[in-house]
Structure 1
Amino acid sequence: MSASPRAENALLEVADLNVVLDSPARRLHPVDGVDFSIAAGETFALLGESGCGKSMTALALTRLLPESGRIHAGQVRLGGDDLLGLSEAGMRAVRGGRIGMVFQEPATSLNPVMTVGDQIGEVLAQHRGLEGAARQAEVVRLLAAVGIPDAARRAADYPFQFSGGMKQRVMIAMALAGEPELLIADEPTTALDVTIQAQVLDLLARLQAERGMGMLLITHDLGVVARSADQVGVMYAGQLVETGARDDFFRAPLHPYSRKLFAALPSGAQRGGPLEAPEGSVPVLDGDFPGCRFVERCPLAFDRCDDEAPDWASVGAQRVRCHLYEGVSIPRALETREANYAAAVARKQQAPVLEVRDLKVHFPVRKGVLKRVVGQVRAVDGVSFSLVPGRTLALVGESGCGKTTVGKALLQLIQPTAGEVFFDGENMVGQPQKALVEMRKAVQMVFQDPFASLNPRMRIGDIIEEGMASLGVGDSAEARSRRVDALLERMGLQAAMRWRYPHEFSGGQRQRIAIARALAVSPRVLVCDEPTSALDVSVQAQLLNLMRELQQEQGLAYLFVTHNLGVVDYLADEVAVMYLGRIVEYGAVEQVLAAPAHPYTRLLLAAVPKADGEGGAGGGAAASAGEISKPEVELPSPLKPPAGCHFHPRCPQATDICRVTYPTPTVSHSGHAVSCHWPLQRL
């Protein structure tokens, strides 16, 4: 029975698609009999964990498989044309023209020696025939459309001069440059903060309405699916296991795996307890599966699931690959395991392990033959906070506000311009490298881009073990090896994967490896720069459970840089909201998220997409009050921040004093602080 009964008048038709990856040791089947269709103007969302075959499906549609990969069987038709029958020259005309693609990792997809304007211009010349001033004007228009401030100037910049979120926006502009009939978006909003995410999703929706463009949206964010998708397909271990309309899927997800994805979503309601993450990981796709591929992780499995692969069953307009919907069966008894998930006893007030006072990081802007300094980019402009053992401080804000720079400046990977960073009471700013060794043993960082932070020439077991060996962690090589295996298992990977190289893993799996490396040396502080941004919800839940357990057991302090406010609500104790290099609101997470005082905080909350199937964005107090609407004014450049309150050009409550004077912080008796002349809540 086909999973795609809507093939009539479809823009894209995929039938029985099978992909094989050959190697001397084994043969993998990452895509194994996938069927779906996408109509013009429709968005089909593909959900699933890292390693389940989502990205490989997208690469197969455009015939961009790795060298060891080949399409073993199936059909792919775009507007009735057989893409698998085209010559390579014919496919080059399709890629970037009729099909645009946004890849998962923009840092590895952009040419580092070409300006972003030239890279977008190549697409415009190849597929639209634009040259000269017309091409340059279109480049600027596309960059502005995806939220790049000062687009005319930034078009002359190189990829390394952009943050991770801004590089993703450049990739989206490049994909849209050819005015495609079909856009394949592989995690297009993963690296974006919530406000830019909302703008990008609105932009894609508008372009679909104008052009009738179809979209294959690959994502792990159920909120993005709720906001943008028309049809949903859930993928597991190389197969689609559930398909249906968005509203039906969110109203009643059918497959046990789909229900686990919803249960794994973090929120404040689950604070202090574990998230319901599915145990284990996606099985290795190197053999035959006699039964259901989800059987080892399914809490509802019964004997038939072991021996017989389920066929498609229809439940109304939804389709599901599960024996539960073929008749009445007796579920297998669940295995129970003892686990202590009781909330940790409140810790006594402790001295901060790290304390930051008035930290500033300014980057000089040089021009001319003599490279004279003509300005300063105020990436961090007077930030203060402390990290206490056993507690988590979340640092939130839009891309480019300085969050990542704060984390790097703590470790002096970037030299602070001014301010103090105290480690166990000693100021580390300006100290020689030898004096920083002890701090760097105790403070580890998980970087935003896992591919760039992992040595491509080392096996991942050696990558994880390298830090332990250099810092003297572990009694012997055997003990370190056992710890590597245990960390990989806790990260949802397999110990046998230690012999693979980084390029053999998906983006989400590489992020787990980077986290395992940081945890390997038993640090006291973890600086986590978007550690869950590349993870699907089930692996994210596993990671958050692990981080919460480690914090309770070892008293770790976390600085958690993120744009996922659901994660903040679940994991953080305090939250600092950052805008253009400064903290504009700070306080306990319950206070800030339930009663945000700064207009910018309410803007962030209002932009969060909800996983409720209603297709709109919203969040808590901000959404219900309706006082803050998404502004048309883009994020100002930190090179020339606005006078007065930096947020006033985007604030609906701004008055004359906001335009001339930066507000001093107002602090309540509970420690809730806000820098605003007219806070929205009385502190």
Structure 2
Amino acid sequence: MSGTTPDVSVPGAAPLLDVRALKVAIRAAGGDVRPVDGISFSIAAGETFALLGESGCGKSMTALAISRLLPDAARVDGGELGLAGDDLLRLPETRMRSVRGGRIGMIFQEPATSLNPVMTIGDQIGEALQLHRKLRGAEARAEARLLLESVGIPGADARLDDYPFQFSGGMKQRVMIAMALAGRPELLIADEPTTALDVTIQAQVLDLLAGLQAERGMAMLLITHDLGVVARMAHRVGVMYAGELVETGPRQAFFNTPLHPYARKLFAALPDGARRGTMLDAPVGSVPALDQDFVGCRFADRCPQAFDRCDDESPGWQQIGAQTVRCHLYDGVSVPRPLHRAEAGDVTSASRSEGTPLIEVRDLEVHFPVRKGLFRSVVGQVRAVDGVSLALSAGRTLALVGESGCGKTTVGKAILQLNQSTGGAVFYNGERQTGLSRDALMPMRRGVQMVFQDPFASLNPRLRIGEIIEEGMLSLGVAGDAASRRKTVDALLDRIGLSPSMRWRYPHEFSGGQRQRIAIARALAVSPKVIVCDEPTSALDVSVQAQLLNLMRELQQELGLAYLFITHNLAVVEYLADEVAVMYLGRIVEHGPAARVLGAPAHPYTRALLAAVPKVSAGADAHQPAMTVSADLPSPLDPPAGCHFHPRCPLASDICRAAYPAEQSMGGGHRVRCHWAGAEVQALRRTG
């Protein structure tokens, strides 16, 4: 089948969506950029086709082209788009409006920016119902309530009158799903629907989508860079790179034996406990610029198996069993062996210390007052952090995990005294920091730095990156003269994999992964001993994430850095952390060595978090619902009596509702707060 367009349809099923040789071009000053350059695939009713790849490879632009929602500077430059026999490219815009949101529903990547902040949820859903189903008034409200109930939002009737800011991130994503389903679509396009969600909310959203698809028989185009989500949801997979599809095939075949070198690199870049203590095999470099005319293979510059032909000739398609691959290696060459992950082992890292803690947190409390009325009287307290104790030594990594809203970021900011604590104490090098003046805090501010979750928001857009890195050196008095500062900046840029000549560029000229590296360089500029990392990899591609984790591991081994790693990505925790603290509603419920907490979790909440993580190894057993906790995180304004987790816990009993559990030792430094952390939980863990 070399050189031909692959047949990626389901055998025996008529395609609902048929994409043939689709091309998209974007006008730019230096010439057209081609983010989509001749891709073909089809999706049958009731089927999920996952489009997988790095940011910048053209996945989202493909989705926008199908919905004819391209930005003004972009255009479809060739190809065909068929939806159940209708040519979407030939439909006038008046007819396309009934297709878009009606026959085709779309869930956008960021619900916070996709929902209108000045309209109630009911009005926004009502717009779609009026346009596509001609429902108005009480009839529309009743249908909107049913839609919210179908996506698992409690108190749906009352919540129709709420605004987007009154919903959590997971709830906003469910509202987006309800809006996408309002027109009863034949095709649902889900663009990174779970990228920044907690593992528990992600599991709920994925189960919801799978259930609604089975109930309604929808086709689904799932756009993601998360291999675990693909393993759980997809029937077939397409791997996209630099505007082209490079591999397609059934889910099980793809996960057993990925064929293209790029696909195999994605698997090699996944962090897990088996690779602990080693460097991840991440693809070097990044996706090439798409404003050029490619001659050879687009992955050749990053491919460890490339040879001369790869530079001179674009590869054609090869049929390998049920899979197709665009690669010269399969032109008469045998198929590689199935991909096997290494077994986990006890690997220890160098430069690890368990001496006197650099950071010690004792019974830390951070409560925020809630004020109401004309005189702004205090009517309550949000207990964001409610008695947390932690210790972090040089050369070690402590992971703080839990759902959004549990207080993780507040702990990180309170350590740096960016949030004023209500009670407890923070110690740096044995000296108490709480209550000190700004000047007295300067030694701690030099020794403890923070890398924030969103590097673009934390980098000053008006400063060049050289100035951004120098800024901390100047403000903390570790600068030296201008020449020494410039030398330090150049060395840091080189250390994080960027050219010193890039010091003159602004933040918007870099990718997300590069901006996160710049944030790390800014933190390193003042020679800290501790770095607080707040979700530094949450929105990164698997390859960029691997590059960043490799950099962090190298820096820790060379400089003896200690990391407080705040995250909900448990695969990263398993790979990087020495210790894990599990946080729930302002308190630590389980704490201990990573191998013990993740390998033999004692708290039901920890078990639920681990069960909710989509497993890449589950490629052959997708569509199985995860064990998830019920309901959503209670409000820290009014935490439940007794054990805070009891309203969501399958083991809860009367004692759980009456008293908060005391801390119990499970041995080996493993501690847990649970009334049922003994034989009952152990028996449950063995049976299921």
Alignment TM class, shorter chain as reference: 0.7 to 0.9
CA distance in 2, matches of 1:141, 1:435: 57
CA distance in 1, matches of 2:482, 2:172: 40
Aligned residue runs from structure 1 range 167-246, under 5 A: 167-246=172-251
- Matches of 1:326 and 1:45, distance apart in 2: 26
Q: Work out whether residues 50 and 507 of structure 1, in 8 Å CA contact, stay in contact via their aligned partners in 2.
A: no
Q: Bigger CA drift: 472-481 or 76-85? A: 472-481
Correspondence 1:349-388 to 2 at 5 A: 349-367=354-372, 371-388=376-393
Relative distance call for 1:370 and 1:562 in structure 2 (3 A) is same
Matches of 1:413 and 1:200, distance apart in 2: 34
Given the superposition, is the C-alpha separation of residues 487 and 118 from structure 1 closer, same or farther in structure 2, using an over 3 Å criterion?
A: farther
Aligned length: 664
Choose from 609, 619, 630 the match for 2:628: 630
Question: Do the aligned partners of residues 353 and 131 (structure 1) sit closer, same or farther apart at CA in structure 2, a change above 3 Å counting?
Answer: farther
| Match of residue 548 from structure 1 | 553
Further displaced range: 219-228 or 276-285: 276-285
3-state SS in 2 of match to 1:407: helix
| TM-superposition CA deviations, 1:127-172 (whole Å, max 9, x none) | 4445555555655655565565666666655555555555444444
Q: Distance in 2 between matches of 1:407 and 1:600?
A: 22
Aligned 8 A contact 1:51 1:506 in 2: no
Under a length normalisation based on structure 2, what TM-score does the superposition of the two structures give?
A: 0.87
- The Cα shift of 1:603 comes to 1.3
Q: With the length of structure 1 as denominator, give the TM-score of the two structures.
A: 0.87
**Correspondence 1:84-103 to 2 at 5 A:** 84-103=89-108
Structure 1 residue corresponding to 2:606, chosen from 577, 601, 624:
601
Aligned twin of 1:639: 637
The partner residue of 2:415 within 410, 421, 424 is 410
What amino acid is aligned across from residue 675 of structure 2 in structure 1? H
Relative to structure 1, the CA distance from residue 451 to residue 493 in structure 2 (aligned partners, 3 Å threshold; closer, same or farther) is same
1:322 matched to 2:327: yes
For residue 338 of structure 1, what is the aligned residue in structure 2?
none
1:614 counterpart = 2:614: no
Change (3 A) 1:510 1:345: closer
Q: Please identify, of 481-490 and 638-647, the stretch whose mean Cα deviation from structure 2 is larger.
A: 481-490
For 1:654, the equivalent position in structure 2 comes to 652
CA distance in 1, matches of 2:362, 2:96: 56
Which ranges of structure 2 fall in alignment gaps of 5 or more residues?
337-346, 684-688
Q: Deviations over 1:532-582 (max 9, x none)?
A: 121222221111111111111112221212222111111001101112221
Matching residue within 663, 666, 686 for 1:665: 663
Q: Which residue of 2 aligns with 1:104?
A: 109
Residues 364 and 375 in structure 1, CA contact (< 8 A), matched pair in contact too: yes
CA separation of 1:595 and 1:315: change in aligned 2, threshold 3 A: same
Match of 1:6 in 2: 9
CA contact (8 A) 1:492 1:542 kept: no
1:337 paired residue number: none
Q: Say yes or no: does 1:78 pair with 2:88.
A: no
| 8 Å CA contact 1:643, 1:661 repeated in 2 | yes
- Counterpart in the other structure of 2:21: 16
Residues 209-264 of structure 1 show CA distances to partners (whole Å, capped at 9, x for unaligned) of 12222211111211111110011011111111000110110111111111111111
Contact 2:210 2:623 in 1 (8 A): no
- Corresponding residue for 2:686? none
**Aligned-partner Cα distance in 2 for 1:435–1:13:** 66
Aligned partners of 1:19 and 1:71 also within 8 Å: yes
Q: Quick one: structure 1 residues 499 and 94, their matched pair in 2 at CA, closer, same or farther if it must change by over 3 Å?
A: farther
Residues 166-204 of structure 1: per-residue CA shift (max 9 Å, x gap): 544444444334433222222111112222211111100
Tell me the alpha carbon deviations over residues 332-378 of structure 1, each in whole angstroms, 9 at most, x when there is no partner: xxxxxxxxxx9643544333222222222333444555554443332
Q: 1:401 aligns with which of 384, 406, 423?
A: 406
Superposed, which structure 2 residues align to 1:480-559 within 5 Å?
Answer: 511=516, 514-559=519-564
2:593 aligns with one of 580, 588, 593: 588
SS state at 1:614 partner: helix
8 Å contact from structure 2 (residues 368, 384) kept in 1: yes
Does structure 1 conserve the Cα–Cα contact (< 8 Å) formed by 2:353 and 2:396?
A: no
Q: Deviations over 1:580-638 (max 9, x none)?
A: 221110000011111111111111112221112123489xxxx9xxxx94344443333
Aligned to 1:563: 568
- Between 1:142-151 and 1:301-310, the stretch displaced more is 142-151
Give deviations 1:278-316, integer Å, cap 9, x for gaps: 122211222122111111221222221111110011001
CA pair 83-472 structure 1, distance change in 2 beyond 3 A: farther
Corresponding residue number in structure 1 for 2:341: none
Unaligned runs of 5+ in 1: 332-341
CA distance in 1, matches of 2:175, 2:523: 30
Moved more, 406-415 or 299-308: 406-415
1:69 to 74, 77, 81: 74
Structure 1 pair 503–55 and aligned structure 2 pair: CA distance change class (3 A): farther
- Offset, 1:317: 1.4
Q: Do structure 1's residue 295 and structure 2's residue 300 form an aligned pair?
A: yes
| Further displaced range: 94-103 or 242-251 | 94-103
> Counterparts of 2:158 and 2:432 in 1: how far apart (Å)?
39
- Give the stretch that moved more between structures: 524-533 or 545-554: 524-533
Distance 1:296 1:383, change over 3 A: same
- Match of 1:339? none
Residue identity in the other structure for 2:229: V
Deviation for aligned residue 1:453? 3.5
For 1:38-60, what per-residue CA distance to the aligned partner results, in whole angstroms no more than 9, with x for missing partners?
A: 11211111111122222222222
Aligned counterparts of 2:91 and 2:462: Cα–Cα separation in 1: 36
* CA pair 676-145 structure 1, distance change in 2 beyond 3 A: farther
Moved more, 667-676 or 158-167: 158-167
| Counterpart-to-counterpart distance in 1, 2:107 and 2:501 | 32
Question: AA paired with 1:387?
Answer: L
Q: 1:273 Cα shift?
A: 0.9
Residues 482/81 of structure 1: CA separation in 2 closer, same or farther (3 Å cut):
farther
Moved more, 569-578 or 49-58: 49-58
Q: Which residue of 2 aligns with 1:334?
A: none
Following the alignment from structure 2 to structure 1, what is the Cα–Cα distance between the partners of residues 70 and 582? Answer: 41
- Measure, in 1, the Cα distance between the counterparts of 2:180 and 2:434: 43
Contact 2:398 2:565 in 1 (8 A): yes
- State, as a whole percentage, how many aligned pairs show the same letter: 71
Give how far 1:274 is off: 0.9
Contact 2:590 2:673 in 1 (8 A): yes
C-alpha change, 1:85 and 1:486, in structure 2 (3 Å) is: farther
Structure 1 residue aligned with 2:259, among 254, 263, 272? 254
Q: How far off its partner does 1:79 sit? A: 2.6
1:166–1:399 contact (8 Å) kept in structure 2: no
User: Equivalent residue of 2:403, what SS?
Assistant: coil
One-letter code of the match for 1:382?
Answer: G
Kindly provide the amino acid, as one letter, of the partner of residue 620 in structure 2: E
Name the CA distance, whole Å, in 2 between partners of 1:481 and 1:128.
63
- Map 1:126-141 to 2 at 5 A: 126-132=131-137, 135=140
Preserved contact between residue 394 and residue 560 of structure 1 (Cα < 8 Å):
yes
Q: Distance in 1 between matches of 2:541 and 2:259?
A: 19
Q: Distance in 2 between matches of 1:117 and 1:647?
A: 31
Work out whether 1:448 is the aligned partner of 2:453: yes
Equivalent position SS for 2:230:
helix
Correspondence for 1:41: 46
